Amino acid sequence: MIWLVFALLTGAAVLSVLWPLARPAPKAREDAADVAFYRDQIAEIDAEFERGGLDREQAEAAKALAGRRLLAVAPEEAAAGSSPKARRIAAGLALVAIPALGLGLYQKIGHPDLPDMPLEARMKAPPAQQDFAAVVARMEAHIKAHPDDARALELMAPVYLRMGRFDDAVNARKKIIELRGETPQNLVDYAEALAYAGDGAITPDAEAQLQRALKLDPKNPGARFYLGLGAAQNGDKDKARKIWSELLPDLQGDAAAQQEVKAKLALLDAPAEPGAAQGAPPSGQAAAIASAAPEAQQKMIRTMVERLAQRLAAQGGGVDEWLRLIRAYKVLNEPEKAQNSYDQALKALAGDTGSREKLVASAKDMGLRTP
């Protein structure tokens, strides 16, 4: 449909050039305007004389002047018809250049496949066809109108987490507790939201919520898991190990959760790597790697590193991501790739002096060739 409209528009544009080329040539003389001008002038002088604005002598003198200028108009013939060759070239140009330019340029900057998205239509579309933002907006409007609808809040809280709107998630969880009272699950969810809002750290506030959940349900696995994480973050490895080891047997029947906890335990024993899993909330990938056999482990790590390398090469990234890549290659014992990545990073971060300095300093520590 849209291509039909495009075709019609292109046709109209081309026709507007072809049409005058096909018609008989207009025959206007180049000097006609000047001749008409002086004739008008003489007529105007006569009219002014009739009105009494001029006396006879003035009018005659002015008319004589205009008459002389009229005679002096440089004669210039009308333009000739036109040579068939010029017409053919012009027509060809219009036929080729207009669609080529229009479509060529549009191809580069346009989005023919994107439909219009008027707000009202987005909001009114049947739920299945609604885009995510519209659903969120509708839910938020609903919550604004019904601030006590705990069910809506429970739907939205995880959505907020997924959208990175952690503060909104915290507020939603807090409101749910106000509305529904303190249950272990509510408290753990609240603590989780607080942890996300605090960049993954189990803050004292979050820990307080977890302790309350534990008071209500001493066996609550979620609360115990996060309390263990909090202990690990505080450097209390023994406490973390104790909490998590006791948690493991209670997770019978939930393989994924078990693996997650095992991974955490494994990481406790692994040499500390700055900024890695310890501080961040549990990640499924880290858990999967930790639980794999050593050989498979190596392979998985390699794939991850390659993926990171590809992403950085394609989209660029911050200095920390580049350093992670370089360090990974060093750990994997591939000094050539490490050096290559370092050179790439230098280029990618060319405009950012601060990052470059950090990069060069770290590279020196790792024994890479630096300029």
Partner 1 sequence: MIVEVGHYALALALALSLMQAVLPFWGARTHDARLMAVARPAAMTQFAFVALSYAALTYAHVVSDFSLVNVVENSASAKPLIYKISGVWGNHEGSMMLWVLILAACGAAMAAFSRAIPPRLLADALSVQGVLGAAFLAFILLTSNPFARMVPAPIDGHDLNPILQDPGLAIHPPLLYLGYVGFSIVFSLAAAALIGGRLDAAFARFIRPWTLAAWCFLTLGIAMGSYWAYYTLGWGGFWFWDPVENASLMPWLAGTALLHSAAVMEKREALKVWTIFLAIVTFSLSLLGTFLVRSGVLTSVHSFASDPTRGLFILAILVMFIGGALFLFMLRASSLKQGGLFAPISRESALVVNNLLLTAACAAVLVGTLYPLALESINGDKISVGAPFFNLTFGPLFAPLLLLAPLGQLLAWKRGDLLAAAQRLFVAAGLGLAAMAVFAALHGAPVMSVVGSGLAVYLIVGAFVEIVGRIFPSGFGAAKNAVFRARGLPLSAWGTAFAHAGLGLSMLGIAASGWGVEKIVAMKQGDVYDVGPYQIEVVGVMNKPGPNYQSTIAYMSVKQDGHVVALLAPSKRFFSTRRMGTAQAGIVTLNLGQIYVSIAEPNPNGAIDARLYWKPLVSLIWIGALVMAFGGLLSLSDRRLRVGVARRAVKTQIAAQAAE
Site for partner 1 in 38-77 (CB under 8 A): 38, 40-41, 43-45, 48, 51-54, 57-59, 61-62, 65, 68-69, 73-74, 76
Among 71, 75, 83, 238, binds partner 1 (CB under 8 A): 83
Choosing from 71, 75, 116, 315, the residue that interacts with partner 1 (CB under 8 A) is 116
Q: Which stretch binds partner 1 (CB under 8 A): 81-89, 154-162, 165-173, 315-323?
A: 81-89
Residue with tokens 């056999």: 293
Q: Of the two residues 135 and 216, which places its CB atom closer to partner 1 in the complex?
A: 135
Q: For helices 237-247 and 255-269, give the axis angle rounded to 10 degrees.
A: 160
What is the 8-class DSSP label of residue 25? P
Judged by CB under 8 A, which stretch of 107-115, 158-166, 190-198, 304-312 contacts partner 1? 107-115
Alpha-carbon gap, residue 281 to 277, rounded angstroms: 7
Angle between helices 32-51 and 56-71 (to 10 degrees): 180
To partner 1, the closest distance from the beta carbon of 284 in angstroms equals: 25
Which region, judged by CB under 8 A, interacts with partner 1, from 126-134, 172-180, 181-189, 228-236?
A: 126-134
CB atoms within 10 A of CB 256: 11
Task: Name the minimum Å distance from CB 99 to partner 1.
Answer: 8
Q: Which position among 117, 272, 296, 361 is part of the footprint of partner 1 (CB under 8 A)?
A: 117
Number of residues this chain uses to bind partner 1 (CB under 8 A):
86
Decide: is 106 part of the binding site for partner 1 (CB under 8 A): yes
> Per CB under 8 A, does 95 bind partner 1?
no
In the complex, what is the shortest distance from the CB of residue 166 to partner 1, in angstroms, rounded to a whole number?
Answer: 19
Q: Which is nearer to partner 1, 44 or 178 (CB)?
A: 44
Name the 3-class secondary structure at 328: helix
**CB neighbour list of residue 139: distance below 8 Å, 6 or more residues apart:** 152, 155, 156, 159
Query: Which region, judged by CB under 8 A, interacts with partner 1, from 20-28, 252-260, 263-271, 341-349?
Result: 20-28
Q: What is the DSSP string of 259-327?
A: HHHHHHHHHHHSPP-TTSTTTSPP-HHHHHHHHS-HHHHHHHHHHHHHHHHHHHHHH---HHHHHHHHH
- Our CB check for partner 1 shows the closer of 66 and 309 to be 66
**Strand, coil or helix: 181:** coil
Query: Tokens for 252?
Result: 């019978």
At position 250, the amino acid (one-letter code) is D
Residue 138 or 174 with smaller CB distance to partner 1 = 138
Q: Please name the residue that has the structure tokens 């050539």.
A: 336
Among the candidate windows 111-119, 152-160, 261-269, 313-321, which touches partner 1 by CB under 8 A?
Answer: 111-119
150 contacts 142 by C-beta, under 8 angstroms = no
Q: How far is the CB of 33 from partner 1 (least distance, A)?
A: 5
CB atoms within 10 A of CB 139: 16
> Would you say 102 or 335 has its CB closer to partner 1?
102
Whether 208 contacts 195, CB under 8 Å:
no
| Choices 119-127, 270-278, 304-312, 313-321 (CB under 8 A): range interacting with partner 1 | 119-127
Q: Minimum Å distance from CB 85 to partner 1? A: 10
Residues 6+ apart with CB under 8 A from 162: none
According to the binding rule CB under 8 A, does residue 364 interact with partner 1? Answer: no
DSSP state of 79: P
128-187 binders of partner 1 (CB under 8 A): 131-134, 136-137
Nearer of residues 76 and 178 to partner 1, judged by Cβ? 76
CA distance 119 to 121: 5
Q: Is 93 in the site for partner 1 (CB under 8 A)?
A: yes
- 301 makes contact with partner 1 (CB under 8 A): no
Which two three-digit tokens encode residue 125? Answer: 């579309």
Residue 86 C-alpha from the chain's centroid: 49
Among 88, 92, 97, 310, binds partner 1 (CB under 8 A): 97
Among 88, 105, 254, 318, binds partner 1 (CB under 8 A): 105
